[in-house]
Amino acid sequence: AQSVTQLGSHVSVSEGALVLLRCNYSSSVPPYLFWYVQYPNQGLQLLLKYTTGATLVKGINGFEAEFKKSETSFHLTKPSAHMSDAAEYFCAVGVSGNTGKLIFGQGTTLQVKP
């Protein structure tokens, strides 16, 4: 069975500070991993994904994540937070190597303080 755990349901940073959202996964097959962002009452927007190849993945809006197999982690980072980054973030793993069928983590609410 596959699962995703996001450490910290709520993260608060100051504008301009480093953003670090943690995600650990469990998977018996090589995982496909995703980070999505959700704004209130909206669907999900893909930030970045890891399927194969380079383990450091760069996404939109300055976000990046590194796949670390030894740590079963896929943490999301951004060097400098903007107010517009305040949202809900979800880490997800593709079920059995499927990039469409996803298991989501619990979500992390990112608050950005001025």
Footprint of other proteins on this chain (CB under 8 A)?
Answer: 32, 34, 36, 41-46, 49, 51-52, 90, 99-107
| HEC sequence for the chain | CCEEEEECCEEEEECCCCEEEEEEEECCCCCCEEEEEECCCCCEEEEEEECCCCCEEECHHHCEEEEECCCCEEEEEECCCCHHHCEEEEEEEEHHHCCCCEEECCCEEEEEEC
Shortest CB 88 distance to other proteins, Å: 9
Decide whether 62 or 97 has the Cβ nearer to other proteins: 97
Decide whether 18 or 60 has the Cβ nearer to other proteins: 60
Decide whether 17 or 103 has the Cβ nearer to other proteins: 103
Decide whether 52 or 70 has the Cβ nearer to other proteins: 52
And the tokens for 114?
């001025």
Shortest CB 16 distance to other proteins, Å: 27
Shortest CB 103 distance to other proteins, Å: 7
